[in-house]
Amino acid sequence: MSKKPTGFIDFLQFFKVLPARSLFLRKAPDGPIETLYGVNELAKRLHPEKQCLKVAAVTDHGDAKSFTLVPDPARGTNHCAFFRAGQYLSVELSIDGALVSKPYSICSGPADALAGSYTITVKRTADGFASDYILDHWDVGTEVTVAAPEGQFYYSPVRDAKTILGLAGGSGITPFHSIASGIVSGDVDADLILLYGSRSADSILLKDAFDALEAKSDRIKVVHVLSDDPDAEGYEHGFLSAELIEKYEPDQDYSVFLCGPAAMYAFVDKELEKLDLRTNRVRHELFGEAYHPEKLPNYPQDCVGKTYKVEVLIRGESKTIDCPADMTLLRAMEFAGIAAPSRCRAGECGFCHSRLVSGTVYVVPKGDGRRIGDLDYGWIHPCSAFPTSGVVLEVFPKAVS
């Protein structure tokens, strides 16, 4: 008997399969059969369009509060989607007619999500429209709707060095608490050296929680740096300078993770330049929502104080709204009650991707996460774009909650 050559395809065998396949298709139900496949069910659990949660506990930290969120089966959510330590949740809010989606870093560890809860910590800030509402209105039992966990501020062994040197300021401490929790639970295989800047000893957010995590793992070291409390003993003083970073940097290769307010980024980025680190070893959490464009590079100063008309095209309808020159197009739409899509609010994720039909805008330099094709064909991210003329904007809403 002759042997068939390697790679030979017996088409007769192939054609014999067709009748059996046709019979299987005829017997299949008329509707979707995706529930037959476990991978589809897993995808729904990992990447739900929305999660209906409720507040189970509130911890008061003075000018901040931690909210423990659990699934709300009565509204259709039975599990918390898993996440990578350092990611965030986008919270949907309705505030006096404004429809807002605001990202908050998950403070708890990935193991808590598997056990059925997330924790976010919200701090009161000067421009905290959404944060103030949450702090003043959320209590045990409050119903909360969030998107699936998102964000790139997490440790990846393929991308990052084995040791993380974290630099945090203010509420920027929250994703590092998640990462530290992940180290303790074994979900994150890395070492963490964290330099955390606060104004004074009594304003350090989550200090007791970090003390407890340090006690559980010798892979975590937290150094508190006080800017306005020079007499406090047992702390570093000043700012997160290159000199301070060099004092605590490890001997081996390390990645720098930064999370904090824009003013901290502006200062620390210049300090990091002195250390001559590889670019791929420095990671920023979202730069945050942009305010005061007149203070940013190359902003057209003749726009200051002006208000422009913005025609929003969405779902086949048109609505014209007013947008002050110092307000992003996204915030103007939200305040007008338009359910515009958004997630990161920093120009990076692309969820609010919209088409600039006509008019001109100023795009925040550090919030310009558009692709080259977007620049050629007039697409913008409204969360990081300020009007510099009258504008016609076509918005493409994503999944509706």
User: Which residue, of 111, 146, 181, is where some domain finishes?
Assistant: 146
- Within a domain: 20: no
Instruction: Please tell me the distance from the alpha carbon of residue 365 to that of residue 360, in angstroms, as a whole number.
Output: 15
> Which H or E run contains 143?
strand 143-146
Provide the residue count of the chain: 401
What CATH number is attached to the domain comprising 124? Answer: 2.40.30.10
Beta bridge partners of 195: 167, 223
Q: Does residue 174 sit in the same domain as residue 279?
A: yes
Q: Does residue 273 sit in the same domain as residue 171?
A: yes
Residue with tokens 């990992």: 46
Q: Does residue 172 sit in the same domain as residue 277?
A: yes
Instruction: Please tell me the distance from the alpha carbon of residue 363 to that of residue 239, in angstroms, as a whole number.
Output: 30
Non-local (6+) Cβ contacts of 348 within 8 A are 286, 287, 367, 369
- Within a domain: 109: yes
Instruction: Please tell me the distance from the alpha carbon of residue 59 to that of residue 138, in angstroms, as a whole number.
Output: 11
Q: Does residue 349 sit in the same domain as residue 243?
A: no
Residue with tokens 């892979």: 219
**Per-residue pLDDT, 183:** 98
- Within a domain: 278: yes
- Within a domain: 301: yes
Q: Does residue 325 sit in the same domain as residue 272?
A: no
Q: Does residue 278 sit in the same domain as residue 300?
A: no
- Within a domain: 87: yes
Radius of gyration, alpha carbons of the chain: 25
- Within a domain: 178: yes
Of 176, 40, 185, 47, residue with least CA distance to 105: 176
> What is the count of structural domains for the chain?
3
**Per-residue pLDDT, 202:** 92
Instruction: Please tell me the distance from the alpha carbon of residue 322 to that of residue 311, in angstroms, as a whole number.
Output: 9
Q: Does residue 256 sit in the same domain as residue 327?
A: no
Beta bridge partners of 99: 94
Q: Does residue 178 sit in the same domain as residue 222?
A: yes
Q: Classify residue 76 as exposed, middle or buried by CB count within 10 Å of its CB (0-12, 13-18, 19+).
A: exposed
Q: Does residue 56 sit in the same domain as residue 84?
A: yes
Q: Give pLDDT tens digits along the chain (401 positions).
A: 445 455 555 667 767 777 888 887 787 777 665 555 677 777 777 788 899 999 999 999 999 999 999 999 999 999 999 999 999 999 999 998 888 899 999 999 999 999 999 999 999 887 778 999 999 999 999 999 999 999 999 999 999 999 999 999 988 999 999 999 999 999 999 999 999 999 999 999 999 999 999 999 999 999 999 999 999 999 999 999 999 999 999 999 999 999 998 889 889 999 999 998 888 889 888 767 788 999 988 999 999 999 999 999 998 899 999 999 999 999 999 999 998 988 888 888 888 999 999 999 999 988 788 888 888 889 999 999 999 999 999 999 864 44
DSSP states of 6-60 as a string? TT---HHHHHHHHHHHHHHHHHS-SS--GGG-HHHHHHHHHS-S-EEEEEEEEEE
> Which H or E run contains 271?
helix 262-273
Instruction: Please tell me the distance from the alpha carbon of residue 185 to that of residue 201, in angstroms, as a whole number.
Output: 28
- Within a domain: 42: no
User: Which residue, of 284, 315, 344, is where some domain finishes?
Assistant: 284
Helix (H, G, I), strand (E, B) or coil at 378: coil
Q: Does residue 258 sit in the same domain as residue 321?
A: no
Helix (H, G, I), strand (E, B) or coil at 274: coil
Q: Does residue 209 sit in the same domain as residue 121?
A: no
User: Which residue, of 251, 284, 317, is where some domain finishes?
Assistant: 284
Instruction: Please tell me the distance from the alpha carbon of residue 321 to that of residue 329, in angstroms, as a whole number.
Output: 10
What CATH number is attached to the domain comprising 381? Answer: 3.10.20.30
- Within a domain: 36: no
List the domain range (segments joined by +) for residue 381: 293-394
Q: Does residue 302 sit in the same domain as residue 261?
A: no
What CATH number is attached to the domain comprising 232? Answer: 3.40.50.80
Amino acid at position 388, single letter:
T
**Per-residue pLDDT, 401:** 42
